[in-house]
Structure 1
């Protein structure tokens, strides 16, 4: 097969949203770095070129500036312009050295040891939500009753959001996630999600000022204790980053849990293995991230001409780093299309690499690992209910619309 024989397909076609892997495998085998006329972007599907994209200086993570270059702020409504400015401050869209300056605010706050201190809170939230998911009904939607609220509940508590505000915080975080990940489908949904981002920013700014006056044992207080907010990082920059933290870990982790449970229930041998050996939880999370992770790709822009995988990429072109394909590259993984919870080593790209390696990876691993093992222990009869599941039509996310299960 050659690049010329590969059909250039729209990645949001229904069959590719449901199961992108066979087509991505064809594309990767023919052209690991492929120009897609349909998407007007390079699709990077091979493991080695995809990994290189995270450290290549000629590639930029800034998705906001190119959009603003096409739509100047003065042509937007005041609300839209303010939302764009907030998103432009998210670390995921900022290149070094600015990225290092911003990330330094959270130095130590997301460390594995600090995250492990939250394990009792995670276990309590898992137990509470597992009980609620099974209350009064044999069939429940595990996504809305468990996988989605759990990470949001943990994130809210960790950030220091008062219990009485948790529901409101969760709604904002979910709507902001829909905006950032391209899940909004109508102008009304876009406006609602944009409003949620502004409301979340204003709320978190008030919380930051409250924690500055009276610190507590939470993420915001720990970050403020570094002394960088107000010095090398402005308060508005800090609050903008917190709006990203509020949704990013929750959305990614909820999809990891939901899709992970779906895959385990479709692979009864691996499900039985995890039930028998719950200590495999951390290794299982890594394999679920590799096999069918919550992020299908990340978007980059070419800052200056360079070569990648034998192709000449030009400044200004768009780049899709398709981690869903790279994580199944047979040149890097043995039996890549098999789910193997004992897989080791497992150098997947589910959390990225380099400067943009996911800041919240330790917390996502903790929450997902606890959710999977504790849920399986609490629900020995867990099984899929109904027919084929429905998927969200998203280029970036691998996310279910619902996950009906029997408990």
Structure 2
């Protein structure tokens, strides 16, 4: 183990606001470093992070170990059931089980299927853009635009009736708090667990309805593949839907908000995108690389293996730090510079390998449309207020609010 490295708590206010200088220092000193503060390996080099996404000795299952170590009498029935549902999420399952579960959505998340949602996305963007600026000089881009847009699209895509959308979104937000460790009290924890159970029950009923009456939505498309009820049980399918309900919305919301914040701080890049909306695709990729919505993925060492001269032992926790890997000068030229025409741009913002983000095509579509349409509708948009306030999260890069003048 290398000595002399500053071992800092990643949720210190300074590092929540701007983690990049410290992560760069850590990456340069030791791209694979065991943090005594976090009791986990911090993997910060691009080469090493990418290798871990493909390494069979690295496990994505971080729910089962918690369940095994938690005495059953300490869990309420609701908490036990919530853990059971989360344990079935694809993001926490290793191959070959991961492949079996993921196969249910084969084609449903493909670029062609996602492109069919473009009119719905564009309509939602136009509606929220108009609402955000209605009668106000200053608006909170997080609350009024970035947060409701992906949630609205996700609900419509999954086939949630319009009259249920607000309730669905409330459940999804609470489930996100539970999954991302953002609950602030035991009472919040209980409410979030109940939200997961309520969402599971709602989606189970919706699956039954779509089985009887298929429509043009994600659930119907997945059911049409014939694997649900065969190689994948109904409960496994519904559990995966509860994950999809919050995951895409949370990630895309943060991508839009933090992406707009960075564009507004880099007026030359903002002007390039406004002048040429066709740059939306590469702009989204660069925003994912430069300051993306996911700071890290948490993994477990499944079996002992060596990485960059370090010996990692089974049972140890690993933080695959995307935020550091995506600014590795060994892989990216001028990594601390925002360049919306950067090419190639092999960032790891959506992961790699078997766990590459299933919803990446939809996130790219929604974020690209949101940012370019907002710039077109609000040519005078500018930051308002003081320094931004960030959510204290290990996993997410998330603004609490983003006041802007329209």
**Normalising to structure 2: TM-score of the pair?**
0.99
CA distance in 1, matches of 2:314, 2:99: 24
Where does residue 112 of structure 1 map in the other structure?
111
Offset of residue 74 of structure 1: 4.6
Q: Could you tell me how far apart the structure 2 residues matched to 1:231 and 1:121 are?
A: 32
Deviations 1:23-82 (A, max 9, x none): 000000000000000000000000000001111010100010111121144531000000
Q: CA deviation at 1:188?
A: 1.7
- The aligned counterpart of 1:375 is 374
Number of matched pairs: 406
**3-state SS in 1 of match to 2:176:** helix
Match of 1:49 in 2: 48
2:60 is aligned with 1:61: yes
Question: Does the alignment pair 1:127 with 2:126?
Answer: yes
Separation of aligned partners in 1, 2:2 and 2:339 = 31
TM alignment of 1:378-397, pairs within 5 A: 378-397=377-396
1:299-338 aligned within 5 A: 299-338=298-337
Distance 1:276 1:283 in 2: 14
Q: Structure 1 residues 73, 160: CA separation in 2 closer, same or farther (over 3 Å shift)? A: farther
Cα separation, 1, equivalents of 2:70 and 2:297: 22
Structure 1 residue 291 and structure 2 residue 290: aligned? yes
Q: Deviation string for 1:360-401 (max 9, x for gaps)?
A: 000000000000000000000111100001000000000000
- 1:66 aligned counterpart, secondary structure: helix
Q: CA deviation at 1:294?
A: 0.2
Quote the Cα distance in structure 1 between the aligned partners of 2:12 and 2:68.
Answer: 29
SS of 1:380's equivalent?
coil
Residues 12-161 of structure 1 mapped to structure 2, 5 A cutoff: 12-161=11-160
The CA distance in 1 between the partners of 2:400 and 2:187, in whole Å, is 19
In structure 1, the partner of 2:181 is 182
Distance 1:287 1:83 in 2: 36
Q: Which runs of 5+ in 1 are unaligned?
A: none
Structure 1 counterpart SS, 2:311: strand
Matched ranges for 1:223-302 at <5 A: 223-302=222-301
The range that moved more, 71-80 or 266-275, is 71-80
Unaligned runs of 5+ in 2: none
Q: 1:150-201: CA deviations, max 9, x gaps?
A: 0000000000000000111111111111111111111122111111111100
Partners in 1 of 2:36 and 2:313 — Cα distance?
15
Farther-moved stretch of structure 1 (229-238 vs 190-199): 190-199
Structure 2 counterpart SS, 1:54: helix
In 1, the alpha carbon distance for the partners of 2:244 and 2:337 equals 32
TM-score, normalised relative to structure 1: 0.99
In the aligned structure 2, how far is the partner of 1:347 from the partner of 1:191? 40
Q: Deviations over 1:307-365 (max 9, x none)?
A: 01110000110000001000000000000000000000000000000000000000000
CA distance in 2: counterparts of 1:213 and 1:5, whole angstroms = 64
CA distance in 1, matches of 2:325, 2:355: 17
The whole-number CA distance in structure 2 between the counterparts of 1:26 and 1:254 is 29
1:170 alignment partner, SS class: helix
Distance 2:340 2:187 in 1: 42
Equivalent position SS for 2:54: coil
SS at match of 2:248: helix
**Residues 100 and 73 of structure 1, relative CA distance in 2, 3 Å threshold:** farther
